[in-house]
């Protein structure tokens, strides 16, 4: 590897004063002119070079990634879970509209990406401008979650995500939900994180054990749950202190997104709002992380349900 090193040399040039004519050193009124000469020295050292990825070397391929027009079409029409459809920028509008419609019908999110990104993700130039991430898990319905609670002879205990976007947060929420006895979690088809490998890893495997339902409309799901006798709470800062709520019986907890919290429409549909008290007000930190808040509230629900059965 070649390195460049700068070498400096100082050269003092005597200056004669115009009046005295004395060289530098003989007249205190005149100062020397100092010139700096720079010399660039190129040296070669036997140092290890940081490895670089070749431009043609593809990224690590995801096993859940399906690409090509026909494979993606068949996947979307099969009814199997699809999380995200990637469409290359520059694809013919009619073709892009076709895949967008298929994705919408399948409940998948559509993202427009640069063709080069598709090439890196698929490892080939033959991606035909479209790819899709197949779901990592098999989604169920909300009715399946209710039936699972009935089969166990327990009051339903569900968690609803109203737009949790960070997959690490969603994974942590699912982990707490499983350990606290929830019968399942409901996530939106659009407007929030789906169950990806990152979610599964963050959940420590809980995402593969906790049933997950994916719905088109969280608000409509809340209405249906209330019709079946489920009391729906949401977590927000202007609610009632957590311990002052009766959290036994059929219950569902709604958790909002990291930035805006529970949407106003969803909040109006809920039967109650719970609040987590804080011991350090006025510090500029005004809320808990959504996964931390979920863990606290879910544990309180589990504790009250266990105390009722004792």
CA–CA separation, 23 and 201 (whole Å): 79
Coil, helix or strand at residue 44: strand
* The pLDDT value given to residue 193: 84
In the structure encoding, which two tokens stand for residue 238, read together?
């202007």
Q: What span, in angstroms and rounded, lies between the C-alpha atoms of 190 and 213?
A: 13
Q: What is the pLDDT of residue 21?
A: 55
Q: What is the pLDDT of residue 189?
A: 83
Burial of 277 by CB count in 10 Å (0-12 exposed, 13-18 middle, 19+ buried)?
A: exposed
Q: How many residues does the chain have?
A: 310
Residue 75 tokens, joined? 């996947």
Whole-number pLDDT of residue 52: 45
Per-residue pLDDT of the chain (310 residues; tens, 9 = 90+): 554 455 555 555 555 555 555 554 555 555 554 454 545 444 444 544 444 444 433 334 445 889 999 999 998 888 777 888 999 999 999 999 999 999 888 777 889 999 999 999 999 998 999 999 888 788 899 999 999 999 999 999 999 999 998 999 999 999 999 999 999 999 998 788 888 888 889 999 899 899 999 998 999 999 999 999 999 999 998 899 999 999 999 999 999 998 889 999 999 999 999 999 888 766 777 789 999 999 999 999 999 999 988 7
The pLDDT of residue 308: 87
Whether 254 contacts 232, CB under 8 Å: yes
Distance between alpha carbon 227 and the CA centroid of its chain, in Å? Answer: 33
Cα 293–chain centre separation: 18
Predicted confidence at residue 239, as pLDDT, reads 92
Per-residue pLDDT at 56: 39
- Residue among 159, 187, 161, 138 nearest 302 (CA): 159
């Amino acid at each position: 590897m070649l390195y460049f090193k700068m070498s400096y040399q100082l050269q003092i040039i005597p200056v004669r004063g115009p009046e005295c004519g004395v060289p530098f050193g003989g007249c205190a009124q005149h100062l020397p002119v100092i010139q700096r000469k720079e010399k660039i020295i190129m040296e070669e050292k036997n140092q290890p070079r940081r490895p670089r990825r070749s431009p043609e070397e593809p990224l690590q391929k995801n096993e859940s990634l399906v690409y090509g027009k026909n494979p993606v079409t068949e996947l979307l029409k099969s009814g199997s879970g699809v999380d995200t459809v990637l469409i290359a920028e520059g694809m013919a509008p009619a073709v892009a509209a076709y895949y967008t419609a298929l994705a919408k019908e399948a409940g998948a999110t559509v993202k427009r990406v640069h063709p080069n990104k598709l090439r890196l993700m698929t490892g080939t130039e033959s991606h035909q401008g479209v790819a899709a991430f197949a779901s990592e898990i098999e989604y169920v319905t909300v009715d399946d979650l209710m039936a699972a609670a009935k089969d166990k002879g327990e009051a339903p205990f569900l968690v609803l995500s109203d737009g949790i976007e960070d997959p690490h947060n969603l994974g942590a929420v699912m982990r707490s939900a499983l350990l606290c006895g929830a019968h399942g979690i409901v996530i939106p088809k659009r407007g929030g994180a789906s169950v990806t490998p990152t979610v599964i890893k963050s959940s420590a495997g809980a995402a593969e054990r906790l049933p997950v339902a994916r719905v088109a409309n969280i608000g409509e799901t809340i209405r249906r749950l209330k019709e079946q006798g489920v009391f729906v709470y949401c977590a927000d800062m202007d609610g009632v202190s957590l311990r002052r709520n009766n959290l036994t019986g059929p219950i569902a907890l709604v958790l909002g997104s990291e930035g805006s919290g529970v949407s106003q429409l969803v909040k109006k549909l809920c039967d109650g709002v719970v609040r987590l008290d804080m011991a350090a007000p006025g510090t500029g930190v005004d809320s808990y992380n959504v996964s931390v808040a979920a863990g606290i509230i879910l544990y309180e629900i589990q504790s009250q349900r266990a105390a009722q059965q004792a």
